[in-house]
Amino acid sequence: MRRISIFGATGSVGVNTVDLINRGGGRAAFDVVALSGGANIALLAEQARNLGARIAVTAYPQHLDELRRALEGSGVEAAAGPDALTEAASRPTDWAMSAIVGVAGLRPTLELAASTRVLALANKESLVCAGALLRARCAAHKTRLLPVDSEHSALWQAMNGEDAAKVRRLILTATGGPFRTWSLAQMANATPAQAVAHPTWDMGQRISVDSASMFNKALEVIEAANLYDMPAAAIEVIVHPQAIVHSMVEFCDGAILAHLGTPDMRAPIGYALNWPDRAPLPVPPLNLETLRQLDFEPPDPLRFPALRLARQVLAAGGGHGAAFNAAKEAALDAFLAGQIGFLDMARLVEDVLDQPYVRAVITQIPRDLNTVLTIDTVARNAAEDWIAKNKGLVSD
Ligand code: NAD
Ligand code: MG
């Protein structure tokens, strides 16, 4: 029986993964080693009971008693906190999903890279913060790293069986998010509720706001560069509001291979779960007759400066990715808390990367987890300073 683990099982990607596992036969077909979640203990316990997991871990120690009570009599072990997460991630599996959101997913992901055969990676932050480290760890343990991000799954499927040296361009599609047609003035006053309302994809809160600012696409450009060893200049972003073409690869002869499908995360998750095979998935088929039209437009660099910042991060290399992600996470928290405006997020990130004491720590490529976490802390401190200085000044 295939041994599997799901980290971030209670989130948007996690719930879709559990859905596919259940449809694939659940506990009768899979040996579920570990599931992890956060504060939604009722859901984590229900998933763990249904799937007969050996261990369920909440990220938060204050929820351990509640988790123990919810699992009483089930035979599922309960654990809590970052060390328990790391321990659970070190248990051997054949397939593991990394779907914790943010840099919090980095330590468990690095652990999974050493303990599983196939690592399905939704946590793009791991590649942004520590791409070289994660790839080296996968290589050392002969772990197959499979992208779950829909764009990167699309690229990977288009490149399947092709010579990587013959790839000329990677073309990442972006929906443009809820503010695609908004003016700068409107965006300056955008609320968290408006930013979360994604027009085509149903995702977690944080990635939805990142989609609205295109910080998500910025992370994805860095993710693609890391996954496919491509220079920033060979990675393009094109806005495609229908979210049907999930990305494209252009080869040296000018041929462009695209991956099309209904926007549903169960498609890329299912591809990674069934790889190297394909199997039917519960994704509604694409109806080209009703669709009729696919639109493409260039992203507006003035309204979406995150894309320019991603290119600067790639050009600078070293620990810039880790600082970029940390500043972005801090900016997102401050925006969600109503401390700064929507457009301030990119200003904050750009200013943090320019701080002399941040620059002093990001010139080296981080070769170990502690270096990444140090850069993360320095950048977060710089972000806190920025927020303290600029709080309440409405941007426009
Ligand atoms: P989510 O917020 O819905 O779920 C996040 C999961 O991580 C939850 O299980 C939560 O309990 C857990 N978590 C949160 N903070 C934690 C912490 N500090 N320590 C440990 N666990 C913690 O997020 P999501 O939308 O499912 O996204 C998960 C990852 O997948 C992100 O890296 C995101 O960028 C990526 N991703 C998501 C989608 C999508 O459609 N949602 C698509 C592509 C990529
Ligand atoms: Mg994506």
Ligand 1 centroid–CA 250 distance in Å is: 31
Assess contact for 258 and 247: CB atoms under 8 A. yes
Q: How far apart are CA 211 and CA 190, in angstroms?
A: 14
One domain, residues 12 and 137: yes
Query: For tokens 């999974």, what's the residue?
Result: 112
- Closest ligand 1 atom to residue 205 Cα is 2
Is position 125 within any domain? yes
The answer to whether residues 255 and 380 belong to one domain is no
Please report whether residue 287 resides in a domain. no
Q: Which pLDDT does position 200 carry in this prediction?
A: 85
pLDDT, residue 342, reads: 98
Number of domains forming the structure of the chain: 3
pTM confidence score: 0.97
Q: Please, are residues 105 and 123 in contact by the beta-carbon 8 Å criterion?
A: yes
**Nearest ligand to residue 13 Cα:** 1
Over residues 75-102, the pLDDT tens digits come to 999 999 999 999 999 999 999 999 999 9
Two structure tokens written together for 208: 């939805």
Closest ligand to Cα 224: 2
State the pLDDT at residue 392. 67
- Residue 144 pairs in a beta bridge with 118
CA of 178 to the centre of ligand 1 (A): 20
SS3 assignment, position 367: coil
Contact present, 172 and 265 (Cβ < 8 Å)? no
Q: Is residue 128 part of a domain?
A: yes
User: Has residue 293 been placed in a domain?
Assistant: no
Last residue of a domain, one of 127, 147, 167: 147
Q: Is residue 369 part of a domain?
A: yes
Domain contains 106: yes
Cβ(270) – ligand 1 distance below 6 Å: no
Does one domain contain both 6 and 133? Answer: yes
Strand blocks (E) in the chain = 2-7, 30-37, 55-58, 77-80, 93-98, 116-121, 144-147, 167-174, 235-239, 245-251, 256-260
Q: Are 34 and 55 in contact (CB under 8 A)?
A: yes
Ligand of minimum distance to the alpha carbon of 246: 2
Same domain, residue pair 31 and 143: yes
Residues of the chain with pLDDT under 50: none
Name every residue whose Cβ is closer than 8 Å to that of residue 118 and which is 6 or more positions away in sequence. 94, 95, 96, 143, 144, 146, 272, 275
149 touches ligand 1 (CB under 6 Å) = yes
Pocket residue to mutate for ligand 1, from 13, 97, 216, most atoms within 8 A of Cβ: 13
- Residues 20-41 have pLDDT tens digits of 999 999 999 999 999 999 999 9
pLDDT at res. 391? 79
Q: Are residues 139 and 157 in the same domain?
A: no
Q: Do 123 and 235 fall within a single domain?
A: no
Same domain? 72 vs 166: no
Residue 394 has a pLDDT of 55
Same-domain status, 232 and 327? no
Clarify whether residues 36 and 96 are in a common domain: yes
291 in any annotated domain: no
Measure the CA–CA gap between 27 and 312, rounded to whole angstroms.
Answer: 46
What is the distance in A from the centroid of ligand 2 to the CA of 124?
A: 9
- Residue 387 CA: distances (Å) to CA of 338, 350, 356: 11, 13, 17
pLDDT reported for residue 396: 52
- SS3 (DSSP) at 120: strand
In Å, the largest CA–CA distance within the chain is 62
Query: Tokens 């799954």 correspond to what residue?
Result: 153
Ligand 1 nearest atom to the CA of residue 15, by list position: 26
The residue out of 131, 147, 163 marking a domain boundary is: 147
Task: Residue 322: name the closest of 180, 128, 152, 42 by CA.
Answer: 128
157 and 257, same domain (yes or no):
yes
Report the separation in Å between the CA atom of 342 and the middle of ligand 2, taken as the mean of its atom positions. Answer: 20
The CATH number covering residue 33 comes to 3.40.50.720
Tokens of 301: 């660099």
Which residue range(s) make up the domain with 376?
317-390
CA distance 227 to 146: 9
Give all strands of the β-sheet with 2-7 in edge-to-edge order.
77-80, 55-58, 30-37, 2-7, 93-98, 116-121, 144-147
Is position 304 within any domain? no
Domain boundary among 99, 115, 147: 147
